[in-house]
Amino acid sequence: MSDRRRFLSTLVIPAVASLPASLRAAAKPWQPAELAEGAAAEGYLESIPGKVPLIKRSYRPPNFETPIDYFKEPITRNDAFFVRYHLAGIPQAIDAKAWRLKVGGDAARQSAEYTFEQLRHDFDPVELVAVCQCSGNRRGMFQPHVQGVEWGVGAMGNARWKGVRLKDILDKAGLSDKAVEVAFDGADGPAMASTPDFVKSIPVDRAMAEGTIVAYEMNGKPLPHFNGFPARLIVAGWTGTYWMKHLTSIEARTTPQGGFWMNPAYRIPANTFHVDPFPTQATAANQPITDIVVNSLVTSIRDGQRVKRGDMVDIAGVAWDGGRGIRDVEVSMDDGQSWVLALLGKDLGPYSFRTFSHRFRVGDAAPVVRVRAYNNRGDTQVEKLIFNPAGYHHNVVQRIRLEVV
Amino acid sequence: MGARWIAIAASAASLVVVAAWAGEEKVKLKEGPGLPLVRANCVACHSLDYIPLNSPFLDHKGWEATVTKMVKAYGAPIKPEDQGPIADYLAANYGKK
């Protein structure tokens, strides 16, 4: 063993959190070049309980992003799954034995309250694989920049969720014909009483859909605290804002849910994106964000990476959408002049990441790699950003330049 | 000003039990006029890294609108006479170049 090897093997790597700022910069993960200077500087690796070091966006409320290497697998590890909160009033821990889920509302014939054990045993369990993606994933890459949590590419994750159908819970309560929305609240809340609590609603047809479940397991384990322990809502296909964590209340409503978090927050301009409607909340100018637009992420190569002439290079990553399922992923090595179909990996269901790969030999010209996914409806990614002030639905085709050496 | 910051943080903490995790003490904002006001008014609800995180792309008007949003949409109890100096600090230190 060389001296250098010996040195490395005995070197104790201190926890990132205890490093001084100058050394913490060395723990900087790969981040998109488009991020604003301040966002890039604040995005260093940091540890929070139960998680591997994640990219810190903000400490309180905690917003932590998954580093790109964890997306090399189609299922995202629980301890690497991103963390997103709006408000800082988060319980330090929740006792599943003391937790209760209230079901009621003016569109429910009867109200009920379930313990964690009842939730698990009174209903048939179901499982599905689904992407949880923050509405603002890639917001930090908007040009011009818009305000908010300046996410890179990792405010998302894909997990196998186990729980009970929301439909079964609502059927047991007895849903009135006049029900228009179902609203949700969680155990977390604001730091000050004057700040609006985070309450969200979905249309009643979405609430009754197969892909909408109250999940109590994630990848075969209890939910991590920061991902909503002991139970959270899964609205497969729709963005993470509806996936209420630490779920405590389900309210069937005959009227649309009001409040800051439904309007003006989480709005997209009307008639701009090819997405699900939300009729009871739409205005002439805008509608709530709904399903995830088709997208892909290359995980095997980075912009500026050096390759050798004659090398075999893999272009691999994941593609996903809001539940139509991925039909094709196309890859170009010549900046979009010609495209070939990538190989698709195992189909884990329409709401899941779908892996793709394409291997090519590097020639004389410097490859400029582009990748675009298509869903089964024929939707594809955009060439040019569809700007919107809240920074949603960034699915611009990536452009990755390789340098031939 | 330092004492005032502590008083506001303490009164906020008495309203709701807010979980705290280590780390945010590492956030260091730039020194400048208005910094104590920023600390006193912003830290009760969120860590101060939200400020550099959103920089440097907001102009003075953008930071003013942000302070207004904190008051009107999020219910931050910032005195009207403090809102201008806070926006001035944010624009001077974390504003669009």
Whether A4 maps to a domain, the answer reads no
Question: Are A328 and A380 within one domain?
Answer: yes
Give the residue, B4 or B81, on which the prediction is more confident.
B81
Provide the pLDDT for residue A261. 98
Question: pLDDT at residue B12 above 90?
Answer: no
C-beta neighbour count of A303 within 10 angstroms:
16
- Measured in whole angstroms, the distance separating CA A110 from the mean position of its chain's CA atoms is 34
CB contact under 8 A, B75 and A195: yes
Residue of B nearest to A16 (CA): B23
Place of tokens 């894909």: A158
Distance from CA of B76 to the nearest CA of A (A): 7
Contacts 24+ apart (CB under 8 A), A39-43: A39/A140, A39/A150, A39/B53, A39/B54, A39/B55, A41/B52, A42/A150, A42/B49, A42/B52, A42/B53, A43/A150, A43/A152
Residue pair A62/A171 in contact by the 8 Å Cβ criterion? no
CATH of the domain at A387: 2.60.40.650
CATH of the domain at A181: 3.90.420.10
Distance from CA of A364 to the nearest CA of B (A): 40
Residue pair A368/A333 in contact by the 8 Å Cβ criterion? yes
How do the residues of chain A divide into helix, strand and coil, expressed in percent and rounded to 5?
Answer: 15, 35, 50
Provide the pLDDT for residue A28. 84
CATH of the domain at B29: 1.10.760.10
Please tell me if residue A56 touches chain B, with a CB cutoff of 8 Å. yes
Question: pLDDT at residue B8 above 80?
Answer: no
Provide the pLDDT for residue B21. 66
Q: What is the pLDDT of residues A138-194, one digit of tens each?
A: 999 999 999 999 999 999 999 999 999 999 999 999 999 999 999 999 999 999 999
Question: pLDDT at residue A278 above 60?
Answer: yes
Q: Which residues of A touch B26 (CB under 8 A)?
A: 21
Distance from CA of A59 to the nearest CA of B (A): 6
Provide the pLDDT for residue B14. 33
With pLDDT > 90 as the criterion, what percentage of chain A qualifies? 92
A-B CB pairs within 8 A amount to 109
Domain span at residue A106 reads 100-137+153-288
Averaged pLDDT for residues A45-68: 96
Whether A350 maps to a domain, the answer reads yes
The predicted complex's ipTM stands at 0.91
In the numeric block, which tokens belong to residue A361?
């030999």
Count Cβ atoms within 10 A of the Cβ of residue A368 and give its class: 0-12 exposed, 13-18 middle, 19 or more buried.
middle
Q: How many domains does chain A have?
A: 2
In the numeric block, which tokens belong to residue A296?
């892909």
Q: Give the 3-state secondary structure of residue A244.
A: coil
Provide the pLDDT for residue B97. 80
Question: pLDDT at residue A6 above 60?
Answer: no
DSSP chain B: -HHHHHHHHHHHHHHS-----TTGGG--PPP-TTHHHHHHHHTTTS-TTHHHHTTT-B-HHHHHHHHHHHHHTT-----HHHHHHHHHHHHHHHB--
Domain span at residue B22 reads 2-94
Beta strands in A244-321 (DSSP E): 247-253, 267-269, 286-288, 295-298, 306-307, 312-320
Single out the residue in A258, A288, A318 at which a domain terminates.
A288
Question: pLDDT at residue A12 above 50?
Answer: no
Q: Which residues of A touch B10 (CB under 8 A)?
A: none
Q: What is the pLDDT of residues B42-97, one digit of tens each?
A: 999 999 999 999 999 999 999 999 999 999 999 999 999 999 999 999 999 999 98
Give the residue, A224 or A18, on which the prediction is more confident.
A224
Residue pair A354/A158 in contact by the 8 Å Cβ criterion? no
Half-sphere exposure of A79 (CA within 13 A, CB side): 8
Question: Are A267 and A331 within one domain?
Answer: no
Question: Are A129 and A238 within one domain?
Answer: yes
CB contact under 8 A, B16 and A195: no
The model's pTM: 0.91
pLDDT grade for A61, boundaries at 50, 70 and 90: very high
Whether A144 maps to a domain, the answer reads no
Pairing of strands A403-404, A306-307: parallel
Provide the pLDDT for residue B20. 58
Provide the pLDDT for residue B16. 39
